[in-house]
Structure 1
Amino acid sequence: AEKLPTAAGRVMQRELDYLGKAIDSGPTPRIALLGGSKAADSVTIANNFLEKGVSEVLTGGVVANIFLIASGVDIGKPSTEFIIQHISEYEEVIDSARKLIDNHGERIVLPTDVAINENGLRRGISIEELPTEHAVYDIGLDTLVSYVEKIEKAGTIICNGPMGLFENPEFAAGTRETFNAMANSKGITVVGGGETTMAFNQMGLSSKIEHLSTGGGSCISFMSGETMPALEAMRRSKIRYESK
């Protein structure tokens, strides 16, 4: 970019167009579904989305557990220990999630019930029944119905992360049904993140989505609102060579 004119290719341009419009100016209401196990990234993404005017952030997976803990809910030893083991800056992430709840309140939508793994079988319990000695593996059925209704009414849907441990058929319902709702939605659906893309492909829903990101970590950085060196280099190149 310093030596020669530099521009985005068609794949990158498509990524930027869809992600940028979905976050900043897509049809309203704009909602986001954030789930999966990469909760630290998702807390940062949630902050950027809410600052950009996304109406609601619906949470599932480990992301939901993080926000439940931040809101004062004891989710139980197995799920809490899993988070502590897999997030290096646990206290900082919980503190960031707590600040988002304080600042944005009901725009961060938490599960009202969850599915736990009880000896390999699915059992639904309400949030009021927590803590539990069993690991939380999926959103509950009441939460699922509520999320599907919100998806059906949305003008723009941005999804990053499954709602539960979809690889296990016992706990795939939350992910399967929310993803089906997105595929059948009249709104614009944009999907980012490797885990999410894999789930859409496995479920045979990729062709029904407006945009399935192939950007991986770069997509996460963009959704987080981070400065991206490649884009900055292209901006500098444009300014430099237009002035000649």
Structure 2
Amino acid sequence: MKFNKITDLNLAGKVVFIRTDMNVPLDDNGIITDDTRIKAGVNTIKYALENGAKVIVATHLGRPAEGNIRAEDSVAPVAVRLGKLLDCEIPVVDNWQQGVTFPATNKIIMLENVRCNVGEKKNNEELGKKYAALCDVFCYDAFATAHRAEASTNSVGLYAKEICAGLLMAKELEALSKAVSSPQKPVVAVVAGSKVSTKLTILDNLADKVDTLIVGGGILNTFLMANGKDVAGSLVEVDLVNEAKQVIDKMSARGASVPLPYDVVVAEKFAPDAKAVEKHLDDIKSGEMILDIGSSFANQLAEIIAEAGTIIWNGPVGVFEFDQFANGTKIVANAIADSKGFSLAGGGDTIAAINKFNLFDKISYVSTAGGALLEFLEGKELPAVKLLTSR
């Protein structure tokens, strides 16, 4: 995967349009409740400024209607927080279509919420040209939006004089390439979630690539049924049993495996106070539901993970939010953290599990992207990747 990085370009005296992802959560009073994404985008902005560039920061925030900027849609809180991190004031510019003026001191501005611009979501070329006219360099640093072709993420890059990936985007693409495109063998993928339907394309794509495919959560129940097992009252997608069997058969035909548990943790209800009982899979009773994998099977998975050269992790293997059903995920997560192989983890629930067990710094790379990561794992070509690699 070849593309220009911001570090490859001479930025001195140039205007750099940085499309970042600072779509942070706000409370009812407009106060930022989690500034992780702002902090993640700071390094690229700092690099551009320190190398003599003037910087235009562009991001979306929330889901506003195009053509009208309401007070609650403004990126002003983001500009204030970013300014504190950079130790400067950052003006928010609304009427930028006729050009922009930079402060004499800090040489950085932020455009008002790009999602408010008419034509943004439809990737309007005229809007993209207007963005491009503001700058010498278009820098893409928002992997979380990489699966969307919008004016500020796509058409702007078609008309800018130069384009490049920001530090965060480059790091993300390099991690994904290392894990999926050119992985160190053997490759182990952990894919879990409540439904096969949401991860079927990922499972099918990875079944062609990985040596071991570990499934968990509600997905596991469908795979168990595909293997002829009774899952009693567990969450299961009966209409996708054949698809699950096809994944198992595809892996088997390659000499690869989908390990399935013999011991599980069950309960009679899905609730924080549900009583957890560990038992053999064949001993579960009608009305009981599987909410975690058993400890013996979890330790078996840990041994497989320990030998992996590459690990891809998307989804906790049990209902880890309830402590009595978190042991399987804890064992698997710790095995991934302790592995000498390269580990890539991503997805909201996955990150929540990583944080719960204090393992963030022990995973090789944690992707904060949601839909973009899933589409990459599905084998789809992301518009942002196509753009960066085509120029």
TM-score (norm 1): 0.85
Tell me, in whole angstroms, the C-alpha distance in 1 between the residues paired with 2:259 and 2:285.
19
Tell me, in whole angstroms, the C-alpha distance in 1 between the residues paired with 2:198 and 2:307.
27
Q: What's the CA shift string for 1:112-171, capped at 9, x where partnerless?
A: 221101462111222223463111100012211110111111121111100100010111
Tell me, in whole angstroms, the C-alpha distance in 1 between the residues paired with 2:318 and 2:275.
14
Match of 2:189 in 1: 32
1:40 CA drift (Å): 2.3
1:235 equivalent in alignment to 2:389:
yes
* 1:8 aligned partner, one-letter code: A
Match of 1:87 in 2: none
Rg larger in structure: 2
* 1:14 aligned partner, one-letter code: K
1:218 CA drift (Å): 0.5
* 2:176 aligned partner, one-letter code: L
Relative to structure 1, the CA distance from residue 38 to residue 234 in structure 2 (aligned partners, 3 Å threshold; closer, same or farther) is farther
Tell me, in whole angstroms, the C-alpha distance in 2 between the residues paired with 1:160 and 1:61.
11
Tell me, in whole angstroms, the C-alpha distance in 2 between the residues paired with 1:40 and 1:234.
31
Tell me, in whole angstroms, the C-alpha distance in 2 between the residues paired with 1:127 and 1:16.
40
1:97 CA drift (Å): 1.5
Residue pair 1:43, 1:63 contacting (<8 A) in 2 also = no
Residue pair 1:60, 1:111 contacting (<8 A) in 2 also = no
1:37 CA drift (Å): 1.9
**Which of 218, 221, 242 is the matching residue for 1:95?**
242
Q: Where do residues 35-46 of structure 1 align in structure 2 (5 Å cutoff)? A: 35-46=192-203
Match of 1:164 in 2: 318
Tell me, in whole angstroms, the C-alpha distance in 1 between the residues paired with 2:171 and 2:197.
26
1:234 CA drift (Å): 2.9
Q: Where do residues 110-125 of structure 1 align in structure 2 (5 Å cutoff)? A: 110-118=260-268, 120-125=274-279
Q: What's the CA shift string for 1:52-84, capped at 9, x where partnerless?
A: 2x11001211121121122232311x32xx445
1:208 CA drift (Å): 0.8
Give the CA RMSD over aligned residues. 1.9
Residue pair 2:230, 2:282 contacting (<8 A) in 1 also = no
**Which of 225, 228, 235 is the matching residue for 1:69?**
225
Match of 1:143 in 2: 297
Which sections of structure 2, spanning at least 5 residues, go unmatched? 1-156
1:31 CA drift (Å): 0.6
Which sections of structure 1, spanning at least 5 residues, go unmatched? 85-89, 239-244
* 2:297 aligned partner, one-letter code: T
Tell me, in whole angstroms, the C-alpha distance in 1 between the residues paired with 2:286 and 2:180.
36
* 2:229 aligned partner, one-letter code: V
Tell me, in whole angstroms, the C-alpha distance in 2 between the residues paired with 1:184 and 1:37.
26
Larger relative contact order (CA 8 Å, sep ≥ 6): 1
How many residue pairs get matched? 227
Tell me, in whole angstroms, the C-alpha distance in 2 between the residues paired with 1:95 and 1:179.
29
Which structure carries more helix by proportion?
Answer: 1
TM-score (norm 2): 0.55
Secondary structure of the residue that 2:193 maps to in structure 1? coil
Secondary structure of the residue that 2:159 maps to in structure 1? coil
Match of 2:258 in 1: 108
